[in-house]
């Protein structure tokens, strides 16, 4: 009986500490630049209407070499699971209220609508209620996209897993330089006057007549 009492005391003593740890979990980030990129790729799931995912070295518009994730769609409903699949992932749940913006570095061969789907502790179903559309434009160069995820109450939930639909048509080729929820890797400011981030959701919902 004494052992049981001690156990419960330990549990209740540790609960606030465990809650703090959960609240401080940072979301996943992929840059495809390090030596583990190919190994990381092995945990990804390109599960529908996609050619096999690849890590490639490509030249950007300045002639610099970038290591990217390359995807190519085979139909109108392609999707991939960063760091996992529909049933598993290699990262911990994270706070959607603290990390409510998707940062995506990407170059595409055609302008098309993309989507992000997610499941949360509050709703563990892959459904239309937890998804958001955004547009990726073909400019011939890598774009640093900043996408506030607002649909489905993301910013009120704990995000368990997410997927990205890289286009809604066949023959969309995408070179993904990074995926992040903590800002642009490398510390590039989103307000640099010469390399301002394209705020895609704002572009299509609020400022379409001004950009």
Please, is 25 exposed, middle or buried when counting C-beta atoms within 10 Å of its C-beta (0-12, 13-18, 19+)?
Answer: middle
Contact predicate 135/113, CB 8 Å: yes
**Distance between CA atoms of 190 and 157, rounded to whole angstroms?**
25
Predicted confidence band of residue 187 (pLDDT cuts 50, 70, 90):
low
What are the two backbone dihedrals, phi and then psi, of residue 80, each rounded to the nearest 5 degrees? -140, 150
N residues, the chain: 211
Residue 21 — left, alpha, or beta (φ > 0 → left; ψ -120 to 50 → alpha)? alpha
Q: Is the pLDDT of residue 193 over 50?
A: no
SS3 2: helix
Q: What is the DSSP track for 62-124?
A: TS-EEEEEEEEBSSS--EEETTB-SS-BSS--EETTT--EEEEEEEESS-EEEEEEEEESS--
Predicted confidence band of residue 188 (pLDDT cuts 50, 70, 90):
low
Q: Which pLDDT tens digit goes with each residue over 5-49? A: 443 444 344 444 434 444 578 999 999 988 889 888 988 988 899
Q: Which pLDDT tens digit goes with each residue over 86-145? A: 889 999 999 999 999 999 999 999 999 999 999 999 999 999 999 999 999 999 999 999
Tell me which of 84-93, 159-168, 182-191 is least confident.
182-191
Contact predicate 189/196, CB 8 Å: no
All structural domains of the chain: 26-205 (2.60.120.260)
Report pTM: 0.78
Q: Which pLDDT tens digit goes with each residue over 49-98? A: 999 999 999 999 999 999 999 999 999 999 999 999 988 999 999 999 99
Q: What is the DSSP track for 16-30?
A: HHHHHHHHTPPPP-B
Which residue has tokens 């190919």? Answer: 38
pLDDT at position 171 is 97
């Amino acid at each position: 009986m004494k052992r049981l009492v001690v156990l419960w005391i330990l549990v209740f003593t540790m609960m606030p500490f465990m809650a703090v740890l959960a609240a401080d979990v940072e979301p996943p980030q992929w840059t495809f630049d390090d030596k583990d990129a190919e190994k990381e790729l092995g945990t990804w799931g390109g599960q529908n209407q996609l050619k096999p995912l690849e890590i490639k070295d490509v030249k950007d518009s300045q002639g610099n070499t970038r290591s990217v994730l390359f995807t190519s769609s085979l139909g109108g409903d392609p999707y991939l699971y960063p760091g996992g699949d529909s049933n598993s992932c290699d990262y911990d749940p994270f706070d959607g209220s603290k990390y409510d913006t998707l940062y995506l570095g990407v170059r595409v061969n055609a302008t098309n609508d993309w989507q992000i789907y997610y499941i949360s502790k509050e709703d563990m179903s892959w459904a239309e209620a937890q998804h958001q559309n955004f547009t990726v434009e073909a400019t011939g160069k890598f774009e640093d996209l900043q996408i506030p995820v607002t649909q489905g109450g993301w910013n009120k939930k704990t995000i368990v897993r997410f997927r990205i639909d890289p286009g809604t048509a066949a023959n969309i080729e995408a070179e993904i330089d990074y995926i992040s929820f903590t800002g642009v890797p490398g510390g590039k400011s989103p307000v640099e006057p010469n390399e301002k981030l394209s705020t895609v959701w704002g572009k299509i919902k609020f400022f379409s007549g001004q950009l």
